[in-house]
Amino acid sequence: MPKFYLTTPIYYANSRPHVGSAYTTIVCDVIARYKRMCGYEVAYLTGTDEHGVNIERAAEKLGITPAELVDRNQQIFRDLWKLLGIQHTHFIRTTSAEHARAVQTLVRRTMARTPDAIYKARYEGRYCVHDNLYVSDSSEPANCPLCGRPAELISEENYFFRLSAYQGKLLALYRDHPEFVQPDFRMNEVRSFVEAGLKDVSISRRSIKWGIPWPDDPEHVFYVWYDALTSYLSGIGFGQGEGGEANPSFKKFWPANLHMIGKEIIRFHAVYWPAFLMAAELPLPEKIFAHGWLLFEQEKMSKSKGNVAYPEPIVKALDELTGAKVGNDALRYYLLRETVFGQDGNFSRDALLTRYNADLANGLGNLASRVLTMIENYCEGIIPDPGNATVPLRIHELASQPHRDAILSSYENFEFSDALTVTWAAVELVDKYLVEEKPWVLAQKTENRKQLEQVLYSAMESLRIVCALAHPVAPESTQRIWSQMGLQGALADVRINQLQWGDFKPGTRIGKPEAVFPRVDKKEAWERIEAMENEIRNPAGAAPKPAAEPAAGAKIAIEDFAKIELRVGVVKSAERIPGADKLLKLLVDIGEEVRQVLAGIALAYAPEELIGRKVVIVANLAPRKMRGLESNGMLLAASADADGKPVLCTFAEDIPAGSKVK
């Protein structure tokens, strides 16, 4: 039996999952179910990334230990996956003993096989706590390229991975396997990133405790990305025996056929990860697919905007309002149907409810209902024998092998929207067919019996095939229709690539027809979802959160603050810098001198409107060069979140330039 091994990212367990994580996981589940129906033995790994400063700090805030925090959060992930019908076969926690062993085994193996791949050196630089990312930018101050938050300054002895040595090998990999990264435009982005040159990366930390200890050097703890990526190995059994490959499950499933990720973490998967594996002399995964983001009502979801959507309210609200278990399939269908996979997509409750009523309730659900009712009423609930009547041409087209194969090929290429569009075209066609043939009229006269039976058989057989083709996306409801049609066993066991017209056995006794997708009132559903979302955002009894998240982490002493010299400055001149989008060159009078300060505020402020304004300057910041120009100081500005435009600090009353701010 051929194998297929796919993974979701190992989700960071510092908070609960939103629809974005659910999206990735659902997509993988659809692929996993599809592959199983094609006869593959599937290993499907997901899990939680439970180490790092962020977890430490989040736990500290709640007054619990990191272990307690991640225990709690990983359970929320598991519960959600259960609610969404996710059939993962493996779940890895990075705090588990077997994972720790795997990480240590991997690094030992690497040092044994490629002795110069890992070395110890002093790291002085910036680290983004939020994204667990070392910021390679050597300028000062540095900010995280992912989230834009200021990176924290750290200086410590670290183990480094010699990524710089892998530029040529990675480029060769991309050249020989252009399918390695998908979609293709991502491959191009990755390639140009690597062509621009690679720096070595730190893969250990000394300053934190909450991590996996470095073998024979327990002062060090593994860098979170090295730790987390290794989950793809440990999750299926790596880490046993000499070299780590003794486990039969690992032998069977590695290398992964697919790492499904969001586009924001492509660099780690398409650059770091293959380099880590090359150094360890392990086979590389076959494919990295980076999908787009799910925007919420056209905006990027972000906690600070308060527009994070969670999956649970949608699923539960639909289940409650319909009195049927439909929410999960509705969400899955919507996510895969509405967006072009790979691109950014929009998540809109209104569109979801529209899709539910139009495609699921009025479409598939109603078709099942009308066909089953007619079998019940006109054929005593027994599937009729069509004899050797030819299949009506148009129906036959949709049920034919080329058509089936077109849908399967869409699944194969992760073109879920296409697969569903074509599958649902079959639903429409059968509806049309019924209107044309009018079985309810045929049933009036006994001489039409043969034709009636042929029509109803064709409709049932089409419905059977549609259910099978839609099963990976809508597993629960298609199974329910399957059972109502009198078909035995699990639809999941059907070999989707061997579907044949005519396999529906005449004489089958159907089950009791029952609405699979009851219609919902959109307004009512919308309000119910909204209410449940608010419940999650602001749990009853919980104190409302302060609007601005306090700078994560430990308090500083007054002496620390005293090191910072803040002064009032007056902007004397301001001009754009050629070649820079965001940067302005300012001359600022701070009393005893006029300083040249560069500030990244060009998107928010026109140069001319700044002249004469009183601003706050960090006066004792070390000079730094940007775009070839020296900056002597830093302008203070506030921004709502990572994407927000900066707003300058200013004064309501008058105050002379040079005054100290404290």
Partner RNA sequence: GCCGGCGUAGCUCAGUGGCAGAGCGAGGGUCUCAUAAUCCCUAGGCCGUGGGUUCGAUUCCCCCCGCCGGCACCA
What is d(CA 58, CA 67) in angstroms, rounded to the nearest whole number? 11
With contact defined as beta carbons under 8 Å apart, do 631 and 625 qualify? yes
Q: Which of 519, 537, 572, 613 binds RNA (CB under 7 A)?
A: 519
Taking alpha carbons only, the member of 270, 260, 325 closest to residue 292 is 260
Provide, rounded to whole angstroms, the least separation between the CB of residue 105 and RNA: 31
> Which 448-477 residues touch RNA, going by CB under 7 A?
none
Q: Does 337 bind RNA (CB under 7 A)?
A: no
Provide, rounded to whole angstroms, the least separation between the CB of residue 283 and RNA: 27
Provide, rounded to whole angstroms, the least separation between the CB of residue 43 and RNA: 30
Q: Which of 70, 201, 260, 599 binds RNA (CB under 7 A)?
A: 599
Q: Does 639 bind RNA (CB under 7 A)?
A: yes
With contact defined as beta carbons under 8 Å apart, do 119 and 160 qualify? yes
How many residues belong to the chain?
Answer: 662
Q: Does 586 bind RNA (CB under 7 A)?
A: no
Helix (H) or strand (E) holding 71: helix 66-83
**DSSP for 170-215, written as a single string:** HHHHHHH-GGGEESHHHHHHHHHHHHT----EE-EESS--SSPEET
Q: Does 518 bind RNA (CB under 7 A)?
A: yes
- Both tokens of 494, joined, read 């059907």
Q: Which of 107, 499, 637, 657 binds RNA (CB under 7 A)?
A: 637
Q: Is 342 helix (H, G, I), strand (E, B) or coil?
A: coil
Q: Does 330 bind RNA (CB under 7 A)?
A: no
What is d(CA 593, CA 488) in angstroms, rounded to the nearest whole number? 86
Options 55-63, 88-96, 552-560, 593-601: segment touching RNA (CB under 7 A): 593-601
| b/e burial code for range 280-313 (CB count within 10 A of at least 16 → b) | bebebbbbbbbbbbbbbeeeebbeeeebbbbbbb
Left if phi > 0, otherwise alpha if psi is -120 to 50, otherwise beta: which for 136? alpha
Q: Which of 120, 209, 627, 660 binds RNA (CB under 7 A)?
A: 627
Give the residues across from 43 on adjacent strands: 5
Options 30-38, 48-56, 114-122, 515-523: segment touching RNA (CB under 7 A): 515-523
Q: Which of 153, 171, 172, 340 binds RNA (CB under 7 A)?
A: 340
**Number of shown-chain residues binding RNA (CB under 7 A):** 71
> Which 266-305 residues touch RNA, going by CB under 7 A?
267
Provide, rounded to whole angstroms, the least separation between the CB of residue 599 and RNA: 5
> Which 144-173 residues touch RNA, going by CB under 7 A?
144-145, 148, 150
Q: Which of 600, 640, 658, 659 binds RNA (CB under 7 A)?
A: 600
Cα 366 to Cα 370, 479, 513, 518, 573, distances in angstroms: 6, 16, 11, 9, 70
Provide, rounded to whole angstroms, the least separation between the CB of residue 347 and RNA: 12
Provide, rounded to whole angstroms, the least separation between the CB of residue 478 and RNA: 12
Options 78-86, 102-110, 586-594, 629-637: segment touching RNA (CB under 7 A): 629-637
Q: Does 516 bind RNA (CB under 7 A)?
A: yes
Cα 1 to Cα 36, 411, 440, 469, distances in angstroms: 10, 20, 47, 21
Q: Does 594 bind RNA (CB under 7 A)?
A: no
> Which 27-86 residues touch RNA, going by CB under 7 A?
none
What is d(CA 181, CA 288) in angstroms, rounded to the nearest whole number? 5
Instruction: Draw the binding track, 174-213, toward RNA (x: CB under 7 A; -: no contact).
Output: -----------x--xx--xx--x-----------------
What is d(CA 256, CA 237) in angstroms, rounded to the nearest whole number? 13
Nearer to RNA, 515 or 594 (CB): 515
> Which 119-148 residues touch RNA, going by CB under 7 A?
137, 139, 141-145, 148
Q: Which of 369, 454, 479, 632 binds RNA (CB under 7 A)?
A: 369
Q: How many CA atoms lie within 13 A of 199 on its CB side?
A: 10
| b/e burial code for range 32-57 (CB count within 10 A of at least 16 → b) | bbbbbbbebebbbbbbbbbbbbbbbb
